Structure 1
Amino acid sequence: MSSAPQRTPSVFPVAGLPDRVDVYEVGARDGLQAEEALVPTTEKIAFVRALRASGLPMVEATSFVSPRWVPQLADAAEVMAALDDRDRHPVLVPNMRGLERACAAGARAIAVFVSATETFSRRNLAMGREAALDAAREVVGAARAEGLVVRGYVSMCFGDPWEGPVDVAAVSGVSQALVDAGCGQVSLGDTIGVGTVGHVRELIDAHARAGIGTDLLAMHFHDTYGQALANVHASLQAGVTCFDASAAGIGGCPFAGSATGNLATEDLLWMLHGLGIETGVDLDAVLAAGARMTGLLGRPAPSRVAQALG
């Protein structure tokens, strides 16, 4: 008779780490946006609701981008209309038109998106970095005037597939512009997953030198080179208390060919719970939600925890 897998980690706290961490779930937006096979709207709504019911404090619901760019999220208004506690379901908006659509659908929290590099900005947003920052400032100002909570995403913070390594001061400069515009939090994205522990610490230190403390930062890691959890630990040591993750590890970036999946929420939770860090999230509930979605997508979950406990 085979033995059953261990379903919870043994807990061994490490001194100097935060007592609590917020896990910011991005699977329904950042995870699904790269999927070519359209997921039914009812399933997206069920996915978001299940993730929120697991105890995740923020579950990004969708994106109000042009359906021509991301057909998977063409049903953004329908998804938003079906959700309660909308301040806990942020949506990505790329421009003023996206903000108008999001507000009409009842959104109460939004996120704007800027690249730290010029090339990716032109490929992803069809405009240069400074023009993208100006557009983001306009959206943030209008959203704040409507009383919305606003978050900023900075992509390509660790490396760019066209430009190579990215100067940490350039990244902190973009973050500073977003904070000055009114973003309450900035998420630093390792879009192609090339970051390593020392790089993480240097990037966080660069933000500190710019006057941006860890209370304003979130980290968004991809696991392309298997470094995501190590990078989380380095961020924890530096005092970061918010991490983006995607249930089952689904997703990537449809505009960066070498980008693979996001850090899996299940894997992040296993690590945090093993360190005795409180999250308020039920791991089994996230596992169930992720398994249902990967089943719909017709493939196994990239998450190692999901594979071990599936």
Structure 2
Amino acid sequence: MFILPKKATIIEVGPRDGLQNESMIVPPDVKVRFIEALQQSGITEMEITSFVSPKWVPQMADAVQIVSESPKNGRQIVLTPNEKGVVRALESGANSVAVFVGVSDSFNKKNINKTTAESMHELKPIVEQLKKDGVFVRACISTAFYCPFEGKINKESTLAICEEFTSWGVDELSVADTIGMADPVESYELFSYLKEELSETVLLTAHFHDTRKMALANIFASLQAGIDRFDTSAGGLGGCPFAPGATGNVATEDVVHMLHHMDIDTGIDINKLCEAIDLIAGYVSKPIESGMYRLYKQ
């Protein structure tokens, strides 16, 4: 008989991962109000923006403004693809940084024009310096289950990347089903394996996309494997511009409802969360179709 946790932590990725692929440019003041409303719903950890090239991700051109104007409540994480991004992030006042790499070489090349090994070689001194400076470092590991170009990824390859990041002292590993192909059995197996093999000092977070409507089932399977941290996106916003077929992240409000129904506390108020979604709904290209948001609007 498995034992479910009494509490779970939601890491909200809507302001960053949820909006990065939006064709409509969301005004900075709207993003800041969205972030503030998400915080008011009880969310304490959040990816708020990314310091990437505006040429490739125009939506994130306002990163400095977002960091400087967002209320400083809880952990606010910014994504940084390279040393230049890290420098800009720290200069803007950020103190929690996310780096990323794809387990799959093909995905990594499509994303940042480097092999996985090249990316890791470049990231090592950056991460080590960040940790010397006392910065919280989150490592986002894409295509941990499947790659849109290479197919199924073996769990040993995912573990190897996780172990290398852990050896550098990262605080958190966000392990992603980037294209939403994983099933609950695969989710349980991979996260059980990672829990068994990795140091307990590193935070282990599951990141599921809902491409094939298996994200909630995958989260339940991950709970059984001992995971109690989940990346989610308010309204189910998101998708990856470098991963064909990757639709939105799993909706925060649906995950919170499921967890609360199982007596797993998140500290999040669903009504206030849906009020936050109201703020952003008119600025995105697709209607919000999550189950709990539809109920809220009735």
1:267 corresponds to 2:254: yes
Alpha-carbon contact 1:214-1:239 (below 8 Å) kept: no
What is the rounded CA distance, in whole Å, between the counterparts of 2:74 and 2:126 in structure 1? 17
Residue of structure 2 in register with 1:178 after alignment: 165
> Identity over aligned residues, as a percent?
38
Residues 147-192 of structure 1 deviation map (CA, whole Å, 9 limit, x = unaligned): 1101110000111110000001100111111111121110110000
Residue of structure 2 in register with 1:109 after alignment: 96
Written as runs of structure 1 = structure 2, the 5 A alignment for 1:45-194 is: 45-85=32-72, 88-194=75-181
TM-superposed CA distance for 1:212, in Å, is 4.1
SS state at 2:39 partner:
helix
User: For residue 141 of structure 1, what is the amino acid of its counterpart?
Assistant: E
Written as runs of structure 1 = structure 2, the 5 A alignment for 1:33-48 is: 33-48=20-35
Alpha-carbon contact 1:19-1:278 (below 8 Å) kept: yes
Residues 248-295 of structure 1 deviation map (CA, whole Å, 9 limit, x = unaligned): 001110111210000000000000010111111111111111122122
TM-superposed CA distance for 1:136, in Å, is 2.0
SS state at 1:90 partner:
strand
1:17 corresponds to 2:4: yes
Alpha-carbon contact 1:152-1:178 (below 8 Å) kept: yes
What is the rounded CA distance, in whole Å, between the counterparts of 2:143 and 2:28 in structure 1? 30
What is the rounded CA distance, in whole Å, between the counterparts of 2:285 and 2:139 in structure 1? 32
Alpha-carbon contact 1:214-1:240 (below 8 Å) kept: no
SS state at 1:42 partner:
helix
Alpha-carbon contact 1:90-1:109 (below 8 Å) kept: yes
Alpha-carbon contact 2:79-2:97 (below 8 Å) kept: yes
What is the rounded CA distance, in whole Å, between the counterparts of 1:132 and 1:23 in structure 2? 28
Alpha-carbon contact 1:215-1:240 (below 8 Å) kept: no
Instruction: Note closer, same or farther for the CA distance 1:167–1:152 as it changes in structure 2 (3 Å cut).
Output: same
Aligned pair count? Answer: 297
Residue of structure 1 in register with 2:210 after alignment: 223
Residue of structure 1 in register with 2:222 after alignment: 235
1:282 corresponds to 2:269: yes
What is the rounded CA distance, in whole Å, between the counterparts of 1:18 and 1:31 in structure 2? 27
TM-superposed CA distance for 1:209, in Å, is 4.6
Q: TM-score, normalised by structure 1?
A: 0.92
SS state at 2:272 partner:
helix
User: For residue 271 of structure 2, what is the amino acid of its counterpart?
Assistant: D
What is the rounded CA distance, in whole Å, between the counterparts of 2:210 and 2:293 in structure 1? 15
TM-superposed CA distance for 1:208, in Å, is 3.5
Instruction: Note closer, same or farther for the CA distance 1:179–1:214 as it changes in structure 2 (3 Å cut).
Output: closer
SS state at 2:242 partner:
coil
Written as runs of structure 1 = structure 2, the 5 A alignment for 1:203-218 is: 203-213=190-200, 216-218=203-205
What is the rounded CA distance, in whole Å, between the counterparts of 1:274 and 1:15 in structure 2? 17
Structure 1: runs of 5 or more not aligned: 1-13
What is the rounded CA distance, in whole Å, between the counterparts of 1:128 and 1:151 in structure 2? 20
Residues 215-252 of structure 1 deviation map (CA, whole Å, 9 limit, x = unaligned): 63100000111100000001111111100000000111
TM-superposed CA distance for 1:41, in Å, is 0.5
Residue of structure 2 in register with 1:3 after alignment: none
